[in-house]
């Protein structure tokens, strides 16, 4: 969907237009739900976090600033914070590996994405999967489970310096990989 | 600032972009970022990478009910409201336990109240019985037999001490909106109420003291009628019995 359409739709949502809200819901809900499932690992909790995210879109649409990024990025950022807050509330400890089997996840993808959009997230997803297990693990714990470096060191039983080194190396790998695309 | 002075801060920028720095490191790095343009550029690049991690998660189709639920919430104007989707068993059990405890508590209070009421009635009956026995022992007490249809009993009258007790058996049943009313009969036929009577269902007889502001010797008889609940100013209903002194 072109960015200009998103901006118009968000303006209409800010004015209380339910149809515009549902259009954005249909467009982005699978991305939001996918992220919340990834973070929370529980379909019921993920559904609740997804619902909260869209209720925030409904009540805070007027705060969205297009110059700061795409609407999808804004919604995913809200969804991540909402899901991490819930994760802390539930006191769930993180899994030590990517709980979502990528093959299985790819089979559940709806057909709503346009081809360029689908190619984009697929390439990013495979870049993460291409990291070494240690690098993928620290990215998973830091970004998708909301743990600090010292918490990761405690969970994995690694020295803090090792965690810092591996986290930085993982980010550099991704930065180079995505920068080259 | 030299390159080496940047190093400890620059090393923390990837973790900061992921939100994985500890609190004290965050404060130090943010203070440095305010004065260092090159580190801010570095952070912008890593932020782009961390944002891409948001995009790297495969989509998943949510349950169709979620869309319907959101539609209902919008229609109901509940922008900030959120239904609890995952009522855990323990929460439900705790709720049920609280309701049961409250119900049990209310039931106990009602039972105590009913028992106290029964106890008060029994105490009254015992006192009335004791009064009747005491009157029988007085030499001046007169006893008048009562026999009217199914109703039998006695009137114990002591005009010297102005006491009287009605002892009755076989009173016909009355509805909740009715009461028995006792009347004292003056020589001119005028009736003065001597009180309302409601016998206990589980007692075979009624023992009821008669109260009167006037001396009982001013009256020539006593009677009982069925009246509407709350009583009447003068007899209006079915007469149960009449005894002349």
**What pLDDT sits at residue A101?**
42
Written in H, E and C, the secondary structure of chain B is CCHHHHHHHHHHHHHHHHCCCCHHHHHHHHHHHCCCHHHHHHHHHHHHHHHHHHHCCCCCCCCHHHHHHHHHHHHCCCCCCCCCCCCCHHHHHHHHHHHHHHHHHHHHHHHHHHHHHHHHHHHHHHHHHHHHHHHHHCCCCEEEEEEECCEEEEEEEECCCCEEEEEEECCCCCCCCEEEEEEEECCCCCEEEEEEECCCCCCCEEEEECCCCCCHHHCCEEEEEEEECCCCCCCCCCEEEEEEC
**What pLDDT sits at residue A45?**
93
- Whether A116 and chain B come into contact, CB under 8 Å, resolves to no
Residue B101's pLDDT band, with cuts at 50, 70 and 90, is confident
pLDDT tens per residue, range B138-191: 777 888 889 888 888 889 888 877 888 888 888 888 888 888 899 999 999 889
- CB contact (8 A) between residue B21 and residue A149: yes
What are the CB-based long-range contacts (under 8 Å, 24+) for A157-161?
A: none
Among A43-47, B62-66, B153-157, name the one with the lowest average pLDDT: B153-157
**What pLDDT sits at residue B82?**
44
Residues of chain B in contact with residue A94, where contact means CB-CB under 8 angstroms, are none
Instruction: Tell me the average pLDDT across B80-92.
Output: 53
Residue A108's pLDDT band, with cuts at 50, 70 and 90, is very low
- CB contact (8 A) between residue A143 and residue B20: yes
**pLDDT above 50 for B62:** yes
- Maximum distance among all alpha carbons in chain A? 53
Residue A113's pLDDT band, with cuts at 50, 70 and 90, is low
**What pLDDT sits at residue B4?**
65
Scanning the structure block, which residue is given the tokens 């959101």?
Answer: B70
pLDDT tens per residue, range A63-85: 999 888 899 999 999 999 999 99
The CATH classification number of A1-92 equals 1.10.1740.10
Query: In chain A, which among 139-158 make CB contacts under 8 A with chain B?
Result: 139, 142-144, 146-150, 152
Domain segments of chain B as ranges: 3-55, 142-244
ipTM of the complex: 0.81
Domain segments of chain A as ranges: 1-92, 100-181
- Whether A47 and chain B come into contact, CB under 8 Å, resolves to yes
Task: Give the fold, CATH level 3, of B3-55.
Answer: Arc Repressor Mutant, subunit A (1.10.10)
Annotate chain A with DSSP letters as a single string. --HHHHHHHHHHHHTT-HHHHHHHHHHHHHHHHHHHHHHH--HHHHHHHHHHHHHHHHHHGGG--GGG--HHHHHHHHHHHHHHHHHHHHTPPPPSS--S-HHHHHHT--TTS-HHHHHHHHHHHHHHHTS-HHHHHHHIIIIIS---HHHHHHHHT--HHHHHHHHHHHHHHHHHHHHH-
- In angstroms and rounded to an integer, the radius of gyration of the C-alpha atoms of chain B is 44
Q: Does domain A100-181 have CATH number 1.10.340.30?
A: no
**pLDDT above 50 for B40:** yes
Of A73, A139, A164, the CB nearest to B54: A73
Domains A1-92 and A100-181 alike in fold: no
Q: What is the mean pLDDT of chain A?
A: 84
Partner residues linked to B154 by β-bridges: B145, B167
Q: How far apart are CA B128 and CA B210, in angstroms?
A: 10
- CB contact (8 A) between residue B66 and residue A50: yes
Q: Which two tokens stand for residue B108?
A: 């106990």
**pLDDT above 80 for A157:** yes
The contacts of residue A97 (CB under 8 Å, 6+ apart) are A133, A137, A140
Residue B213's pLDDT band, with cuts at 50, 70 and 90, is confident
Dihedral sign of CA atoms B169, B171, B175, B181 in order: negative
Task: Give the fold, CATH level 3, of B142-244.
Answer: Immunoglobulin-like (2.60.40)
């Amino acid at each position: 969907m072109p960015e200009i359409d998103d901006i118009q739709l968000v303006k209409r949502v800010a004015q209380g237009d339910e149809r515009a809200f549902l259009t954005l819901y249909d467009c982005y809900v699978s991305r939001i739900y996918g992220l919340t499932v990834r973070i929370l690992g529980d379909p019921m909790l993920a559904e609740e976090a997804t619902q909260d995210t869209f209720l925030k879109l409904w009540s805070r649409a007027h705060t969205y600033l297009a110059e700061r990024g795409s609407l999808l990025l804004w919604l995913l950022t809200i969804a991540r914070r909402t899901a991490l807050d819930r994760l802390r509330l539930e006191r769930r400890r993180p899994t030590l590996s990517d709980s979502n089997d990528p093959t299985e996840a790819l089979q559940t993808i709806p057909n709503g994405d346009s081809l360029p959009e689908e190619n984009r997230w697929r390439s990013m997803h495979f870049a993460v999967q291409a990291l070494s297990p240690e690098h993928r693990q620290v990215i998973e714990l830091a970004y998708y489970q909301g743990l600090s470096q010292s918490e990761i060191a405690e969970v994995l039983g690694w020295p803090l310096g090792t965690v810092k080194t591996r986290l930085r190396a993982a980010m550099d790998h991704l930065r180079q990989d995505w920068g080259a695309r | 600032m030299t390159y080496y002075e940047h190093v400890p801060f620059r090393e923390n920028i990837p973790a900061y972009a992921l939100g994985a720095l500890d609190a004290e490191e965050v404060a130090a790095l943010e203070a440095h970022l305010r004065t260092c343009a090159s580190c801010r550029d570095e952070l912008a690049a890593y932020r782009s990478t961390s944002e891409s991690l948001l995009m790297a998660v495969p989509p998943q189709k949510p349950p169709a009910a979620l869309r319907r639920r959101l539609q209902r919430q919008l229609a109901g104007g509940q922008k900030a409201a959120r239904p609890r989707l995952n009522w855990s068993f323990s929460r439900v059990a705790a709720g049920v336990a609280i309701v049961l405890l409250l119900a049990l508590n209310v039931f106990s209070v009602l039972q105590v109240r009913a028992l106290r009421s029964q106890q008060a009635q029994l105490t009254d009956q015992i006192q009335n019985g004791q009064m009747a026995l005491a009157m029988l022992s007085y030499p001046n007490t007169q006893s008048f037999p009562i026999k009217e249809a199914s109703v039998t009993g006695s009137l114990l009258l002591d005009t010297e001490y102005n006491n009287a007790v009605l002892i009755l058996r076989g009173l016909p049943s009355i509805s909740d909106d009715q009461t028995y009313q006792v009347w004292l009969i003056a020589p001119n036929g005028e009736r003065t109420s001597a009180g309302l009577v409601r016998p206990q269902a589980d007692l075979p007889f009624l023992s009821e003291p008669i109260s009167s502001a006037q001396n009982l010797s001013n009256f020539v008889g006593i009677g009982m009628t069925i009246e509407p609940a709350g009583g009447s100013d003068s007899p209006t209903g079915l007469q149960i019995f009449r005894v002349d002194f």
